[in-house]
Amino acid sequence: MPKILRNAPIRTWEAGDNVQGFALLTKKEQRQDRNGKSFLDMELADASGSMVAKVWADSPALNARFEPHQFVAFRGSVKNYRDQLQLSIDDCREATDGDRTYGFDESKLIPSTREDIDDLWRRLEGLVTERVERPVLRRLAAETLAVHGKALREHPAAKSMHHAYRGGLLEHVVSMAELGDRVCDHYRDLDRDLVLLGVLFHDLGKLRELGAMPANDYTVEGRLVGHVVIGRDLLIERCAAIEGFPLDLRLLLEHMVLSHQGKKEFSSPVEPMTPEALALHFIDDLDSKINQLRASRESAPGMQFHRGLGRFVYLPPVEERPAEPLLDLVEPHAEEEREREMSEEEEVEIEVQAALFEPGDGLHGS
């Protein structure tokens, strides 16, 4: 009987692994193959990463009840398709409270930043208090963090492209702010205050464009207005709370927020027209792309086609994956004993799978 990795982190999966456990379903779309047969194109995620998953026409999971943004119990096999790992799902259903007996824990399934959130917050506060010189802009930054800090610490930076996990927006902002601070050391004619405040506000509209984890989907306001304009509105709101805030500074910051996407076809109402706006755009673009490549490298190192960049990229592994113990319900036995008869441990494995996925058991979703 093939070995099954149970409750192993997604980032540890390799081609040929048979896996079973729990995950957050982040995507589910019904499609048809070349022969007209229906299949499901999905994505599963946990705190360690995510993987594309397929439910083919011959799988009983094709008509099972589970929806995006739900936690699911699954069983399947990992395959290598076009140099990228993907999961072929045999069984899948919505996870239930009864599954906690089998290791279901939501906190382990929400993709999260690997950085320490408290440390990220301290670094951001230090930058805006120690590196911003104008008192009025220091006050703007401090009051913005006071009003939006709780959400900023938890929110994702995107639905899927980059930093799409709990704490991702804070990680993105801190990374950009630290990079922007260094860029200003090199290009001394740049206004450091404007660069750092531009970084703080550029994606702040995502607090209302996207729902918090685990949903991480577009809100109605996000679809109809978008984070760029929402962010400009939040900037105006915070500036208005400071009596006598300089209109010239507000205008320069508005331009940075409105132009940070770089091009009109990328949802920027205007394109960067000041040195600080141009610097903000390139810093944002660099940080988001490096994050995308890091995620791709971790899921499938080597040569691969990157849809976000629209080209092939080569991502050799930085280092070998650390050896992590993988929980296997089947205890090791001598090979000859395996060949002679089914062991008691294998019978236990079959019973566990039945409990998780066969109708009639208390753990099966209604």
Do residues 94 and 181 share a domain?
no
- The reply to whether 210 and 89 lie within a common domain is no
The answer to whether residue 310 sits within a structural domain is no
Tokens 């994606």, residue?
203
Distance CA 166, CA 189 (A): 36
Do 123 and 247 fall into the same domain?
yes
* 366 domain residue, yes or no: no
Q: Which pTM value belongs to this model?
A: 0.71
Same structural domain for residues 84 and 19? Answer: yes
Whether residue 261 is found in the same domain as residue 168: yes
Residues 6+ apart with CB under 8 A from 297: 315, 317, 318
Q: 42 and 141: one domain?
A: no
Q: Would you state the pLDDT for residue 320?
A: 54
pLDDT in tens, 68-97: 888 999 999 999 988 889 999 999 999 999
**121 and 96: one domain?**
no
What local confidence, expressed as pLDDT, does residue 44 receive? Answer: 93
Same domain? For 178 and 236 the reply is: yes
> Is residue 312 in a domain?
no
How much is the pLDDT for 179? 97
pLDDT at 339 (0 to 100): 46
User: For position 331, what pLDDT does the model report?
Assistant: 40
How far is residue 292's CA from residue 239's CA, in Å, rounded to a whole number?
Answer: 33
Is the domain of 88 the same as that of 208? no
Structure-token pair, residue 170: 């804070």
pLDDT score at 150: 93
Give the CATH number of the domain where residue 348 resides. 2.40.50.140
Does some domain include residue 320? no
Domain that holds residue 147: 117-299
Residues 281 and 145 in one domain: yes
pLDDT single digits (tens) 318-355: 765 454 443 343 344 444 444 444 455 555 555 556 56
What is the structure's pLDDT at 166? Answer: 85
Instruction: Write the CATH number for 217.
Output: 1.10.3210
Do 139 and 261 fall into the same domain? yes
C-beta separation of 154 from 107 below 8 A: no
Which parts of the chain sit beneath pLDDT 50?
321, 323-342, 359-366
* Count: domains in the chain: 2
Residues 235 and 87 placed together within one structural domain of the fold: no
